[in-house]
């Protein structure tokens, strides 16, 4: 629940100005910069002391810097998507989850200015940098807060804000590899950010309507932040956390686990130049019933009349060979995530069409992962049933075109 997006607290490149007595840490924003933040959470959820379930959650954020003022403060627009793992007959996958939009400002030290209409990002004002230059061993503190989304759990309509004071320490310089596909050897500056939470909630004015609501929140977060001085940006981050919410009815909800976040730039694929290049490769590889179009989320490769074994989601061998060829195209975009979408013709019940489209998307995604194109944390799936036809379902030729799987190289 709580770990939808931790990463957007790190949602800008960082400028490090070196001084004789240390480094002056400041966010530096550049208009039209875009990047992706991927957060993977392993979380145990307990209710009243008993393990309710274990969740593996992937949160994907894309950030665009829309403006920078004369003081260097940035205006951002972000798209936030969270997916929780599930298991089906074709294996484990991450389906494309609900998307949230957000808009906010952040100053050069890292302080947020965001309206209460936005639930994302969850963690705000981490990190916030000190006024003066720092060197390994230096410490500082800064106020921050969590903005929890409790609409589904407790019917709380605005972000539920839990304040904290974070303690920071510039720990060391450390050799490592970059989080992007190049795995370039880097020297990172490493910062520790820790905070504890204890917050007693005021009684809501409409408490009689809510029935149950959060009475107190307690817990901690310990985060290690790595950034790259050469590229002047956060590279990755690791966190351990635990949050316990006690309700007005005496129930206790306990969320604990770990988070890993990586921040990478990606190639813009929904351009005329990339479109023509991929179309040329499709033609060169002799791929039949395959088209390429610019789409809302990136560049989409559509495999029409895709063949599975009867009434199943298992690809026939000829289609596997086709997907292998498409995989060679996808490997040219190692830092772009993939979205695999399944579509069916108009046949059978709506429920059956939806299930089949999801399973077929999962089957193609699983095969791409097995080919080593991406790991499972960078491939998402989505099923649409017969809701988005590209041809008439009144003819067999039209049905064949509608029976398709689309692979989108994401650039948003």
pLDDT tens digits, one per residue of 249-271: 899 999 999 999 999 887 888 89
**Residue 20 pLDDT level (bands cut at 50, 70, 90):** very low
**Using CA atoms, how far apart are residues 152 and 29, in angstroms rounded to an integer?**
35
Name the least confident of 6-10, 155-159, 262-266. 6-10
What's the pLDDT at 157? 81
What's the pLDDT at 93? 64
The residue-averaged pLDDT of 71-94 equals 75
Tell me: the pLDDT tens digits for 164-195? 999 999 999 999 999 888 889 998 989 999 99
What's the pLDDT at 347? 87
Give me the DSSP letters along 5-57: --GGGG-SBEEEEEETTEEEEEE---TT-EEEEEEEEEEEEEETTEEEEEEEE
The residue-averaged pLDDT of 135-144 equals 96
What's the pLDDT at 9? 42
The sign one gets for the Cα dihedral 290, 294, 297, 298 is positive
What's the pLDDT at 2? 47
What's the pLDDT at 175? 95
Is pLDDT above 80 for 281?
yes
Beta bridge partners of 263: 37
For residue 396, the tally of other CB atoms under 10 A from its CB is 8
Q: How far is CA 353 from CA 219, 348, 393, in A?
A: 44, 7, 14
User: Peptide bond preceding 121: is omega within 30 degrees of 0, i.e. cis?
Assistant: yes
* % residues pLDDT > 90 (the chain): 63
**Using CA atoms, how far apart are residues 220 and 42, in angstroms rounded to an integer?**
16
Tell me: the pLDDT tens digits for 355-370? 999 999 999 999 999 9
Q: Phi then psi for 323, rounded to 5 degrees? A: -65, -35
pTM, full prediction: 0.83
Instruction: Retrieve residue 378's tokens.
Output: 């960078």
Which residues are CB-neighbours of 327 under 8 A, at least 6 positions away?
368, 371, 373
Say if residues 80 and 8 touch (Cβ distance below 8 Å). yes
What's the pLDDT at 84? 76
Say if residues 409 and 340 touch (Cβ distance below 8 Å). no
Instruction: Retrieve residue 268's tokens.
Output: 């813009």
């Amino acid at each position: 629940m709580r770990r939808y997006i931790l990463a957007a607290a790190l949602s800008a490149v960082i400028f490090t100005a070196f001084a004789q007595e240390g480094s002056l840490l400041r966010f530096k924003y550049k208009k039209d910069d875009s990047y992706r933040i991927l957060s993977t959470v392993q979380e145990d959820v307990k209710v009243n002391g008993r393990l309710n379930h274990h969740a593996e959650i992937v949160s994907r954020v894309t950030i665009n810097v829309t403006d920078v003022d004369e003081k260097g403060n940035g205006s951002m627009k972000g798209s936030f998507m969270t997916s929780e793992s599930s298991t089906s007959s074709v294996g484990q996958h991450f389906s494309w989850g609900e998307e949230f939009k957000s808009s906010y400002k952040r100053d050069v030290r890292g302080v947020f200015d965001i309206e209460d209409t936005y639930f994302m990002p969850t963690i705000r004002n981490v990190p916030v940098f000190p006024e003066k230059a720092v060197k390994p061993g230096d410490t500082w503190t800064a106020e921050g807060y969590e903005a929890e989304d409790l609409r589904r759990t407790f019917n709380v309509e605005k972000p539920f804000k839990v304040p904290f004071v974070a303690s920071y320490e510039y720990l060391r310089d450390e050799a490592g590899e970059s989080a992007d596909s190049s795995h370039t050897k880097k020297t990172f500056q490493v910062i520790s950010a820790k905070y504890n939470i204890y917050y007693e909630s005021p009684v809501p004015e409409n408490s009689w309507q809510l029935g149950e609501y959060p009475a107190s929140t307690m817990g901690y977060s310990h985060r290690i932040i790595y950034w790259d001085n050469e590229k002047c940006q956060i590279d990755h981050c690791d966190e351990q956390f635990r949050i316990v919410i006690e309700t007005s009815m005496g129930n206790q909800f306990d969320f604990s686990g770990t988070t890993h976040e990586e921040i990478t730039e990606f190639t813009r694929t929904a351009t005329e130049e990339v479109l023509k290049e991929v179309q040329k490769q499709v033609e060169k590889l002799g791929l039949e019933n395959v088209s390429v179009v610019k789409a809302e989320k990136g560049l989409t490769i559509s495999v029409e009349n895709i063949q599975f074994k009867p009434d199943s989601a298992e690809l026939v061998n000829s289609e596997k060979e086709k997907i292998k060829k498409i995989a060679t195209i996808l490997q040219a975009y190692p830092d772009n995530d993939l979205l695999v979408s399944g579509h069916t013709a108009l046949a059978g019940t709506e429920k059956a069409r939806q299930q089949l489209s999801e399973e077929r998307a999962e089957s193609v995604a699983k095969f791409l992962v097995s080919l080593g194109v991406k790991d499972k944390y960078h491939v998402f799936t989505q099923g649409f049933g017969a809701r988005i036809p590209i041809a008439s379902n009144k003819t067999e030729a039209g049905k064949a075109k509608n029976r398709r799987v689309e692979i989108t190289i994401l650039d948003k």
